[in-house]
Each structure stands twice: as C-alpha cells, then as structure tokens.
Homo-oligomer: A and B are copies of this chain.
C-alpha cells in the first residue's frame, strides 16, 4: 500500500497503453551523443522522484514514466537503482564542494569568505534542488561502499567551513570562545535546511543568503 497522494485508481494507472511500436519517441535526436544525453535525463528524472518520494518509496517505473519510456529501458543506461542513487548523490554534493573550495582558499577576510561560503551554498539548492535534497536525505540508503565515497565529499565540505572559522578565530575576526566544529555543524544545518522549504516560502535566494549571513556573523542582537 503505497502512500501516493492520488486517489486509489486500482492499477493500470502506470503500465501505459502499449504504444504501437514506438514511432521514434524523440525524433529530434540527431547525433550519437544521444546515449549520453539520455543518461543525463534519466539521472535527472531519478533525482526528481527520489527527492519527491524518497529512494525506497520511488520505483524505477516512476522514473520511466517521467521520460515516457518503459521501465526496463532504464537498464540500458543505468545498471541498477542503487547506481542511480549514487550518481544523484554525488552530483548533489559536488555542486557545493567545488565553489566552496575556491572561496575558502581565495582572498579576503575570514568574515567575507564565510559569507561567501554561505551565499554560495544557496546556489546548488536553487538550481539543482532535487539532487541536493537527495544527497542530504537519501544518501544513508547507499550501499556501504558508495556511502563512504559520498561521505568523504561531505566531510570535505565540512572541513572547508571549519577551516575558515578557525582562521577567523586565529585572526581575531571571530570570537575566541567558539567551538569550530559545532559552529560548522550549526551553519551547515541552517544552510542545508533551506533545501527543505525553499519554494514554499516567498523569499528569493539572495534575500535568504543575506539574512543568513547577517544572522551567522552578527546574531539577532542589536549592536552593542
């Protein structure tokens, strides 16, 4: 008994009518990089359904439905559902990692770099939200090997934040009594949380980024 939100239309809701021998489902595709393009589409569809229903709640049929192909056809491009999850998770965390590294090791005071990190953290949430949500909430369901692989990226990102915070403490830009580890987790928690409600609130990413930066740097209190 799956908890889809739709009314219970028995079956046959999926299992589309046997199309008459698929008259070239995508007539516009020309080249031979076709296979690659399809793979990308499949991973994007997977990101969408994994984000919406969770890994275990999603079926490969759901993914196929988005692309209007048969469930079995997915296996021409992707070896397994788990493999699709891994690809989605990696693309989810990669978006954060690269820019973050550039910002942290770039110029500027620690305050500015931390502000940059927070703002940059909003970007993947905005334009690869499905991938990010899956990375954040579904990576626990990866098989051990790939979970560890993804975990490394994740810890790397934490280290980037933590390093900037330590740097700021050393240089006297930040309070000296911070716990850099807890502060990192706090900031990431706050920033990652955005992915769970962005779109339901009417605030632009820029607004959110600015608000969060000022909250982290200065807190709620008035200037003293």
Residues of A bordering B, CB below 8 Å: 1, 3, 5, 53-57, 80-82, 111, 114, 137, 140-144, 165, 168, 172-175, 178-179, 181-183, 185-194, 196-197, 201, 203, 207-208, 211-212, 214-224
Contact = CB atoms under 8 A, between A and B. Distances in A.
A175 B221 contact: yes
Given A173-B221, A219-B219, A220-B165, A179 B193 contact: no
Given A82-B3, A114-B220, A186 B168 contact: no
Contact of A221 (B57, B82, B217): B217
30 contacts: A3-B82, A5-B143, A53-B56, A54-B54, A54-B56, A54-B57, A54-B141, A55-B56, A56-B56, A114-B220, A165-B220, A168-B220, A172-B222, A175-B221, A175-B223, A179-B203, A181-B201, A182-B201, A182-B208, A183-B211, A183-B220, A185-B197, A185-B201, A187-B190, A189-B190, A189-B194, A216-B219, A216-B220, A218-B218, A224-B224
Q: How would you classify the secondary structure of chain A's contact residues: helix, strand, loop or mixed?
A: helix
Nearest to A194: B189
A215 B186 CA distance: 9
Contacts of A196: 189
Nearest to A114: B220
A111 B222 CA distance: 11
Nearest to A174: B220
A186 B174 contact: no
B221 A111 contact: yes
Contacts of A221: 111, 173-175, 217-219
A154 to B, nearest CB: 11
